[in-house]
Amino acid sequence: MQRRQFLKTAALAGLATAALTRRCAKPGIQKPNILLIVADDLGYECIRANGGTSYATPALDDLAATGVRFEHCYAQPLCTPSRVKIMTGIYNVRNYRRFGILDRNQTTFAHLFKQQGYATCVAGKWQLGKETDSPQHFGFDESCLWQHRRGRTDEDGHDTRYPNPKLEINGEPVDFNNGEFGPDVVSDFLCDFIERHLDQPFFAYYPMILTHCPFVPTPESSDWDPTDRGSLAYKGDPKYFADMVRCMDKMVGKVVNKLQALGLRERTLILFTGDNGTDEPIVSVLNGRQVAGAKGHTTDAGTRVPLIANWPGTVIAGEVCRDLVDFCDVLPTLCQAADIPIPKAPSLDGVSFWPQLQGKSGSPRESIYCWYSRSGQEKEARVFARTHRYKLYRSGEFYDIDNDVLEQQPLDITSLDAPALEMRARLQHVIDAQECRNNNPASS
């Protein structure tokens, strides 16, 4: 009863906004729907289609088999920095302020789609500003969120995201006390939003609650307790991580199946990724090699994330792409897919990989640039540029990632061969160019 009332309330709240947005849509032009899914704390190694063997991910494997799977997508090492980057298409060095905040002066992908007549929705984890209007301020018509204005735990220290969650619907607090599971409630809201927008294009951003700790039972776990008030331990028990990955995959499948049932699959581009590497207690197997989660660190295990694109009949099927992709590339890609004007450089750092999704060569990146500081303070920033193989930090550390994925032994510059020296010089130029740009705001 509580969930039905919740969905009814959400539907009523969205009617006026939907009607207004519909009037802004261009007649006679059928724009594609966009669904962007970002799993929380899920590294590249967790997906079976990528070569992971520790977890079951059938829904994602199917999307990969019938779409494009990327092998070299890189996020920031932590959630807020990644979310700021993916939502704005800009390197953190130019617009990241501090953890848990998105600068209210920023333009997001939701703004761009809303301006073109799209209905917009965000459902999942927020953690980007506690103002009541924060999601709407950043371009979302409707929102169903965990950790918007409310904290991570309740007054007794129980985590509030999983069993019997405490969420916020369009800025208003809603408590669930009848054995509901937070990810189910959020995905139901998203499915309801989709069903209410059959006659206009939608942009749905789904920053998932799963698979972030605390690692706890899901409704499919043998010891799921519908009366549980939430974990008192921040990390929980890592033995439940496999259940959480399976549940995450099921949530993706639920939304994909809803699109299919409504006849929207051939009109919808789905992009799936993760916001950073897997958390540190988790050890997974990728192509026979153990990968220890390294969230918060700038190694591959902290920054390399899955990326899958699927759009039946439009995105090529069964393709594996090795091009470098940075999180800031998502915004221009989605805009190009929907024929929405892309903000011009230098206001944008992203490079669209839309051509690659159609089987074309496109304009792949030659390198990835990363400026990472959880606090937003320059003195704490970890800065690097990298290619597939080599990685150079601003501090001077230079690594051959192919042969030292854990970055345990910097290369001796005096013993480098000519190709390695040339690559180091090119990566140094990338770092220097960004330093120059950041020290001269007028050039941005």
pLDDT of residue 438: 77
Work out the pLDDT band at 26, boundaries 50, 70, 90.
very low
* 315-360 per-position pLDDT tens digit: 999 999 999 999 999 999 999 999 999 987 678 999 999 999 999 9
My answer on whether 338 and 293 are in the same domain is: yes
In a domain, 362, yes or no: yes
Residue 303 lies in a domain: yes
Q: Tell me the mean pLDDT in the region 272-282.
A: 97
pTM of the model: 0.93
The residue count of the chain comes to 444
Task: Tell me: do 342 and 426 sit in the same domain.
Answer: no
Same domain, yes or no: 95 and 213: yes
Q: pLDDT-based confidence at 13, cuts 50/70/90?
A: low
Structural domain for 387, as ranges: 381-443
* Domain assignment present for 376: no
Mean pLDDT for 254-260 is: 98
Per-residue 3-state assignment (H helix, E strand, C coil) for 206-254: EECCCCCCCECCCCCCCCCCCCCCCCCCCCECHHHHHHHHHHHHHHHHH
Q: Is the pLDDT of residue 197 over 60?
A: yes
Residues 388 and 353 reside in one and the same domain: no
Alpha helices in 292-444 (DSSP H): 300-303, 330-337, 354-357, 418-439
Cβ-contact 72, 307 below 8 angstroms: no
Q: Above 60 in pLDDT, residue 23?
A: no
Of 345, 371, 397, which residue constitutes the final position of a domain? Answer: 371
pLDDT for 25 beyond 50: no
Q: Is residue 397, in this structure, part of any structural domain at all?
A: yes
Mean pLDDT of the chain: 93
Within-domain flag for 285:
yes
429 and 321 housed in the same domain: no
In this structure, are 297 and 386 located in the same domain? no
Tell which of 371, 399, 417 closes a domain.
371
d(CA 298, CA 75): 10
| Chain centre to alpha carbon of residue 211 | 12
Between helix 330-337 and helix 79-88 the angle, nearest 10°, is: 40
Do 357 and 394 lie in one domain? The reply is no
Shared domain check, 393 and 362: no
Residue 422 lies in a domain: yes
Q: How many domains does the chain have?
A: 2
Domain end, chosen from 371, 397, 426, is at 371
Cα gap 67→38, rounded to integer Å: 17
Residue 22 has pLDDT above 70, yes or no: no
The pLDDT of residue 19 is 45
Per-residue pLDDT at 24: 43
For residue 330, give every residue at least 6 positions away whose Cβ sits within 8 Å of its Cβ, in sequence order, or none.
36, 86, 89, 109, 271, 273, 350
CATH of the domain at 199: 3.40.720.10
* Domain identity same for 363 and 404: no
Question: What is the structure's pLDDT at 21?
Answer: 45
